[in-house]
Amino acid sequence: MHDSRPDTTGDTTGNTTGNDRFTPLTPAQHELLAAARDVAARAYAPYSAFRVGAAVLAADGRVFTGCNVENASYGLSLCAERAALARAVAEGVQPGEVAGVAVWCLDACPGPDGTLPEGAAAPCGACRQWLAEIAPRAFLVSNSLPGAVAVAALLPFGFGLEKG
């Protein structure tokens, strides 16, 4: 299938390594991160003790939050990103109408300098696929990334519906 999403990585090889793919956070992105941080405190994570919150910014300005919810049968657990995206869709947000997503992990282990290692709270592969389908032109911010990044850069060859 042909993916008609624009290349936002600046590298046509699909290589998205390096900090040049990040942009400084805007005040609105900081606010979205705060919403993700706040909902992370409500996560149900008795097995991993890895509490994550996510906030989805719809194109119309509404914000939808979600947190991870674990289950003893790990495959039945729900990541924060998918919880927030599902909530947005349930409230009428259509694929492509997401402007941004924020992810905050309360429990990632900081490095020696007190900051989180880059990518410690980045979306898992399943969440990247959901983001590629529902929020292909959105930005992503996290408390473990040095700035905002295009969702398209997270899964450059993602599977999805062909866009005309």
Q: Tens of pLDDT along 62-117?
A: 999 999 999 999 999 999 999 999 999 999 999 999 999 999 999 877 777 777 77
Angle between helices 27-40 and 80-90 (to 10 degrees): 110
How far apart CA 58 and CA 98 sit, in angstroms, is 4
* Per-residue pLDDT tens over the stretch 77-88: 999 999 999 999
Third-level CATH fold of 22-154: Cytidine Deaminase; domain 2 (3.40.140)
Residue 143: half-sphere exposure toward Cβ, Cα within 13 Å: 25
Residues designated catalytic:
81
Do 70 and 51 form a contact (C-beta atoms < 8 A)? no
